[in-house]
Amino acid sequence: MSADQQTGAPLVEVEGVTLRFKGVTAINQVSFTVGQRELFAVIGPNGAGKTSIFNVLSGVYRPQEGSVRFLGEDVLGQRPHAIAARGMARTFQNIELFENLTVIDNLMLGRAHRVRYGVLSAALWFGRARNSELTDRAAVEDIVDFLELASYRGMPVGLLPYGIQKRVELGRALAMEPKLLLLDEPVAGMNLEETEDMARFILDIRDELEISMIMIEHDMGLVMDLADRIMVVDFGVPITTGVPADVQRNPDVIRAYLGQDHDTGGRRSAGGSPPTTGTSPTTGTSPTTGTEPVGTGATAARTTGETT
Amino acid sequence: MTATQRPVRDPAAGTPAAAAPSATPAPARARRPRGRPAMYTGYAQNMALLNTGGKKAGVLVLFVVALLLPFLLQDDLLRLLATGAVLAIGAIGLNLVTGYAGQVSLGHAVFLGIGAYTASVVSGDPEDESVYGFGITFLPVWLLAAGLVAALVGAIVSPLATRLRGLYLAIVTLGLVFIGEHVFREWDALTGGVGVGREGPTPELFGFDVGTRSEFFSADQQLYLLMLVMLVLFALVGRNIARSAVGRNFAAVRDRDIAAEVTGVDVRKAKRLAFVISGFYGGCAGALLYSINGYIDPGSFNVLLSVQFIAMILIGGAATISGSIMGAFFVALLPRLTRELPEYLPFLSSSPTETPNVFQFETFLYGILIVLFLILEPRGLFGLWVRARNYWKAWPFSY
């Protein structure tokens, strides 16, 4: 599907990954590939295992089964900083910045894996250490410009407003000069204006910096507008992967988000064809029609759907 | 051509992010614009250690005062200041591991002990049958040996830090102090044994013994100047480590270790490095401390010494080099101040046999000061200084 999006070899190949915590299967047989310059979105209800997928990719969790290939190399079992050094950067759902440090220092830390000087050179602040610091600073200032953070440069990030902190975290990931960027809910908790800013930055990252991205997001409007392809996960199981328009019409996706309708749900899945506005058997109780995008109110609707 | 060469030192000169005053490519104007002395035209200026006029002037004044002190103060006070300078070296070491890297270490006394004994073994008299000695009294040799051996012990201890954190690490490092105390008490050939002790290292530089009076200076004046130079060196190195990628990695590990790892920081390496550096500083401080005192008692390296170092960095300001120095001098001079108290507070006795006496008051004061600073100004003396500085920066406006 949508092979035109992918040029050249895929950047990431995830193959049959299963992650269990004792009895709980957090991720079950997840497979997907992300191509060059692709914006790949992962969506799913809360607790579906989206962030666990990120944790597997970046090496924080080690899955029981499956393989993860990044840039053609098996990265499963490598330590997180080693995977980061290969070019995988990440932002977190709940901001994970070094809050006592300034914006500049946070961004400089993004370049930690590029630092080639040792403690002795650092102790003298001479030659290699000094040059390296100056080059890194220049690179970091480019990102400050790119993300319009100039006025917050010298401030400890703990003092900054939420939206700016999110942006600093994105900046720290960009400072790593990654080939793949993992964005975990980049606009969670943001107002419309901040969301639009972030959307603009995400598009700029893809189009100007040409960095592939995997994005987890609950803001369906944002996901449907930005993503090239979407994977939907529910209870750790991938339901479908496809372009936004297809995903929106997929009955399994609708069921995952809105719950099973006891009157019509069985018939729909038995039919196998995605319902459209014209042909879908409307019952009046179901809040969905096929073409209606899965909206932000979906989670609330899902709970009511389950209780009926 | 000098004007055009300047931007070469600034690798960002060509990037839009450069702090250059004008957007137009004007290499001839790369020098600071006239009338704007605080303008940075390159990251090298911005990232320099003394990057403002105020800092430059302040450090200069401080240095001149420090150099004049030997001629203004009595010898016993100078000795106290020399001790303070050495304690400051140790405090910087502890601050790097505890303040910057966030690994609480209550075992700093052990590093001091190891440094002190290594140095005195290297410098000790080989004729003396009762204790080890190699007779190399040249200061850089025994100082380096003391630092390296203590750093090695730091490296051996560091795996604990990669497996434990917070309170658990603190307790384990506390255990280290008890092991150290036991070894120092029992290993007579190294320490001379309880009640006997051994001589500290001899501070000899190019055939000149700093510890004995010379033609022009008293021993205490010389020791003060020596320790001042040492402090400046160690503080400079400490500051450079703190502001480089090494120190940034420490802070990242302290603030959020998982994020640090995903960002590309090798957390284990950072923790190991923190303990190694801290051990090196502790070892050097131990060696220098007993080259002032001249006599090492095996019972000196106990929990109280570790707690005093914790007090120094908490009172001075965690994760600051200048705070470590302020805290160390504060703790070093505190006994001297409390000794004066019986004159003003008649209920305090200066004799240790009566209660309440100044010695009890002193231990009480450590505790109360730590508590007060943690509640009122967690950034310590450094924080007070920042407040005062910011007030005068904005003066006469309130903000």
Tens of pLDDT, residues A68-82:
999 989 999 899 989
Is there a contact between B47 and A134 if contact means CB atoms under 8 Å apart? yes
Count the domains in chain B: 1
Testing the interface with A: which of B244, B269, B272, B321 to mutate, by most A Cβ within 10 A? B244
Neighbouring C-beta atoms of residue A184, cutoff 10 Å: 23
Q: Do the domain assignments include residue B362?
A: yes
Q: How confident is the model at residue B274 (pLDDT cuts 50, 70, 90)?
A: very high
Which residues of chain A have a CB within 8 Å of the CB of B260? Answer: 98, 109, 112
| Strand runs labelled E in A103-179 | none
Cβ contact B263–A119 (<8 Å): no
Are A53 and A192 members of one domain?
yes
Please give, rounded to a whole number of angstroms, the shortest distance from the CA of A209 to a CA of chain B: 16
Judge whether B65 lies within some domain.
Answer: no
Amino acid A13: pLDDT = 93
Q: Is B245 on the interface with A (CB under 8 A)?
A: yes
B144-203 pLDDT per residue, tens = 999 999 999 999 999 988 888 888 999 999 999 999 999 999 898 888 888 778 888 888
Name the domain count of chain A.
Answer: 3
Q: Tell me, what's the pLDDT at A10? A: 87
Residues from chain A that touch B247, judged by Cβ atoms under 8 A, are 122
Contact B332, B84 (CB under 8 A): yes
Same domain, residue pair A187 and A212: yes
How many beta-carbon contacts under 8 Å exist across A and B?
Answer: 137
- Do both A206 and A232 map to the same domain? yes
pLDDT per position in chain A (308 positions), as tens?
Answer: 444 444 568 899 999 999 999 888 999 999 999 999 899 999 988 888 899 999 999 999 999 999 999 998 999 989 998 999 999 999 998 889 999 999 999 999 999 888 888 888 888 888 888 889 999 999 999 999 999 999 998 899 999 999 899 999 999 999 999 999 999 999 988 889 999 999 999 999 999 999 999 999 999 999 999 999 999 999 889 999 999 999 988 888 888 887 776 655 444 443 334 433 333 343 334 344 444 444 444 444 443 334 33
pLDDT in tens, A121-159: 888 888 888 889 999 999 999 999 999 999 998 899 999
B161-to-A162, A266, B103, B258 alpha-carbon distances in Å: 32, 56, 7, 15
Q: Please give the helix or strand (H or E) that residue B267 lies within, else none.
A: helix B267-293
Domain shared by A128 and A163, yes or no: yes
Same domain for A77 and A184, yes or no, is yes
Q: Strand, helix or coil at B87?
A: helix
Residue B301 counted as domain residue: yes
In-domain check, residue A254? no
Asked if residue A54 belongs to a domain, the reply is yes
Put simply, whether B264 touches A (Cβ < 8 Å) is yes
Distance from CA of B233 to the nearest CA of A (A): 10
Which strands, in side-by-side order, build the sheet including A24-34? A24-34, A12-21, A65-70, A73-74
Of the candidates A59, A133, A176, which has its C-beta nearest B244's C-beta?
Answer: A133
Q: CB atoms < 10 A from the CB of B394, how many?
A: 10
Residue B17 has its nearest CB partner, among A123, A132, A144, at A144
Q: Which residues of A touch B278 (CB under 8 A)?
A: none
Closest CA to A286 of A266, A303, A265: A265
B365 at interface of A, judged by CB pairs closer than 8 A: no
Continuous segment of H or E residues that includes residue B219: helix B219-243
Residue B67 lies in a domain: no
With contact defined as beta carbons under 8 Å apart, do A87 and A58 qualify?
A: no
Give the CATH number, domain containing residue B88.
Answer: 1.10.3470
CB contact under 8 A, B319 and A115: no
Q: Are residues A123 and A240 in the same domain?
A: no
Q: In terms of domains, do A106 and A172 share one?
A: yes
Range of the domain at B370: 72-394
Cβ contacts of B354 within 8 Å, gap of 6 or more = none
Give residue-wise pLDDT tens across range B2-61.
Answer: 333 343 444 444 444 444 444 444 444 456 667 777 778 888 888 888 888 888 898 999
Residue range of the domain that includes A219: 1-87+178-249
Same domain, A16 and A62: yes
Crossing angle of helices B303-316 and B380-394, in 10° steps, is 10
Output the pLDDT for position A148: 92
Asked whether residue A188 falls in the same domain as residue A81, the answer is yes
Q: Is A109 within 8 Å of B265 when comparing Cβ atoms? A: yes
Mind listing the pLDDT tens digit for each residue in B311-347?
899 999 999 999 999 999 999 998 888 888 888 887 8
Domain contains B40: no
The alpha-carbon gap from A142 to the nearest alpha carbon of chain B, in Å, equals 5
Provide CB contacts within 8 A for B17, sequence distance 6+.
A138, A141, A142, A144, A145
The full 3-state SS of A227-245, as one line of letters, equals CCEEEEEECCEEEEEECHH
Residues of B whose CB is below 8 A from A79: 261, 266
Q: Are residues A266 and A138 in the same domain?
A: no
Cβ-contact A103, A144 below 8 angstroms: yes
Which among A60, A81, A131 has the least Cβ separation from residue B266?
A: A81
Please determine, for residue B374, whether its predicted confidence score (pLDDT) is greater than 80: yes
Tell me, yes or no, whether A81 and A221 share the same domain: yes
Let me know if residue B252 belongs to a domain. yes
Same domain for A161 and A108, yes or no, is yes
| Residue where the block lists tokens 């137009």 | B24
Residue whose token pair is 């990242």:
B252
Collapse the DSSP code of B319 into the 3-class scheme (helix H, G, I; strand E, B; otherwise coil) and give the result. coil
Q: Minimal Cα–Cα distance from A125 to chain B, Å?
A: 6
